[in-house]
Chains A and B, each alone.
Chain A
Amino acid sequence: MCNLRSANWRKHFMGRLVLFAATLPILAFIYLPIAWLVASSTSSRVELSAVPPHWIPQNPSLQNYVDILFPGDQASSTAKTYKVTLQNSLIVATSVTAISLVAGSLAAYALARIQFRFRRTILIGILATRMIPEVSLVIPLYVLASQIGILNTPTVLIFTYLSFALPFAIWLMAAFFETIPAELEDAARIDGCSRIGTLFKIIMPISAPGLVSTGLFVFLTAWDEFFFALIFTSTIAAKTVPVAIAEFTGRYVVDITGMMTGGVLAALPPVIMALAFQRYIVRGLTAGAVKG
């Protein structure tokens, strides 16, 4: 009896050990590139040209961060303007998130809860717009933006980003609204609440987690966007962080320390947000994708 138990226990223990060992290469694959990114951002340019590389910087310093956040005369032009591009990214992503949440949740409520003609057509149309590549929107939008004179402004990015953010927000919010039991709403309406009253007093408060998830996804997508920003912004007035990072690679020189430091700074806001709200991220992934 005692022997049997210890044999079982050993088998169990070995099994757990094998499973644990299997997680190690995955963790290494996740963290080694990040470690190298962070190490590069704290190394000097000279140290980065060591062969073989210094895996751990011998003189780690935050000088690169100082250079980007408080650039001196010797900084590359991209490094000098990096702070402004961070600000542009923040303005654009926040505005897109706010507009998508307000307009999107109203539309999503109507599509999820109110029966009317063309409802299904609109829903499918919205899903279809999510499949349209940015590249097939960009030429007319460019011509239009230059005619109105909003090229190189955050405005043009906010409007063009709505082309993917708004359908996405509607789709995700509709999925959340559909999970709310209809009885709740019927009860409120019998008590004399109007549609709009029910929406704001009953539905919205319950849907707060859905709003958080949707807001997070929209913000992260807008922060990540590169193609529209590359086409529509060529000056510092509206250039966003991804464009700035791509520009660290000049025609002849690559400002590697600037690129890596800028990369860490650009990755920090979305990574911190995603970690802080990880439960909402997973919920959003499942609600938005695995439906029905």
Chain B
Amino acid sequence: MATLATTVKPMGANARRFNLRRQDTIVGWLLIAPSLIIILGVTLQPVLSTLYLSFFDASTSVNLPRTFIGLDNYTNLLQDPVFWQTIGRTMYFMVTSVGLELIVGIGIAQLIHTRPPGWKFLRISLIIPWAVPTIVNGAMWGWIYNGDYGALNGLLYQLGVINKYIPWLIDPARAMNLVILADIWHTVPFVALIIQAALAGLPAELDEAAAVDGASAWDRFWQIRLPLLRPAILVALIIRSVEAFRVFDIVYVITHGGPAFGTVTISYLTYQETFSYGHLGRGAALSFLVSIFTLGIAFIYIRYVYRPGEGA
């Protein structure tokens, strides 16, 4: 009797569990279905269409015949010095902007962490530039940089740094740096808030123990907190790099890619090729190259960050 009961019971439970699991699978797919359909429709399908289009010589006019030219759009782009100049400019924007954001952001996070008088006000204040829409941010800085009436000229003139107004956005390299400054104003808070939250989550005992052992505040930052912040810093680095590589809005509103193409980034070039010059096939190839690069960063993200329970 006893043996019979023990052999029968698990079988029944197994069958029930199997049923439940199958039910689960069905419910799971039902829950995902609406999102999956939308995502496939508005992202996967267009991406594949763009890839397909990039093998054709196609112009904006839909009625014109399209000729299949294989990889010509890609090889033409890769041999075009303009393409590489634009990549270089975009990399400059990305590295400078993200690098400064990380340094300033980590600095601000660390400052808030030491709880100086007014630290709560500082933390709340950080949310404001983050929440200001990108286009408003661009419009605001564009007006600050204005060569005739801008605040930057006014301030530097009154401080005696310059003795006449300077048309800031006339020089390509300077225009790029000023766009970067505007971008930093908008994005430093994101880095600072993420790092500050990570700092607040670190065990305080570690820091205290090191302090008791005589480690200076400087050493404790470099030797203890910074290594523990590595995952948070990596996340901020990757998210911001992807965004910075695709920068478009702020360039559009401050400089329109000018002067002399000095602020044309890869997204801006793609926009021009596609919508100003009507080179649909070439624009598609360009946008696909942008995707490949950002997916490369995504791959790093998945590989090194998306590891549940990986720890620091």
Contact = CB atoms under 8 A, between A and B. Distances in A.
B291 interface: yes
Contacts of B197: 282, 285-286, 290
A143 to B, nearest CB: 7
Interface stretch (A66-74, A205-213, A273-281): A273-281
A248 B29 CA distance: 47
Interface stretch (B94-102, B130-138, B171-179): B130-138
Residue from B25, B135, B158, B287 having most chain A Cβ neighbours under 10 A: B135
Nearest to B58: A139
A237 B203 CA distance: 54
B142 to A, nearest CB: 8
Interface in A1-55: 16, 19-20, 22-23, 26-27, 29-31, 33-34, 36-37, 40, 48-53, 55
A168 to B, nearest CB: 11
Interface string B5-45: 00000000000000001011101110110111011001111
A105 to B, nearest CB: 9
Interface stretch (B68-76, B81-89, B205-213, B231-239): B231-239
Interface in B251-298: 252-253, 267, 270-271, 274-275, 280, 283-284, 287-288, 290-291, 294-295, 297-298
Given A124-B302, A140-B53, A292-B309, A103 B129 contact: no
A220 B131 contact: yes
Contact of A259 (B121, B143, B309): B143
A275 B124 contact: yes
B139 A137 contact: no
Interface string A137-150: 11111011000000
Q: Is the contact region of chain A dominated by helix, strand, or loop, or is it mixed?
A: helix
B122 A106 contact: no
Contacts of A166: 35, 38-39
A270 interface: yes
B5 to A, nearest CB: 22
A interface residue count range (under 10 / 10 to 19 / 20 to 34 / 35 or more): 35 or more
B interface residue count range (under 10 / 10 to 19 / 20 to 34 / 35 or more): 35 or more
A263 B140 contact: yes
A246 B132 contact: no
B111 A22 contact: yes
B244 to A, nearest CB: 12
Q: Is the contact region of chain B dominated by helix, strand, or loop, or is it mixed?
A: helix
Given A133-B294, A267-B133, A292-B305, A109 B39 contact: no
B163 interface: no
B235 A267 contact: no
A153 interface: no
A104 to B, nearest CB: 6
Contacts of B119: 23
B151 interface: yes
B298 A130 contact: yes
Contacts of A285: 190, 193-194, 197
A58 interface: no
A122 B36 contact: yes
A167 interface: yes
A56 B61 CA distance: 52
Given A286-B197, A292-B305, A40 B143 contact: yes
Interface of A: 16, 19-20, 22-23, 26-27, 29-31, 33-34, 36-37, 40, 48-53, 55, 99, 103-104, 106-107, 109-111, 114-117, 119, 122, 124, 126-141, 143-144, 159-160, 162-163, 166-167, 170, 195-196, 220, 223-224, 226-227, 230-231, 241-242, 245-246, 248-249, 256, 259-260, 263, 266-267, 270-271, 273-275, 278, 281-282, 285-286, 289-292
7 contacts: A20-B117, A129-B39, A132-B294, A136-B46, A163-B43, A275-B128, A281-B127
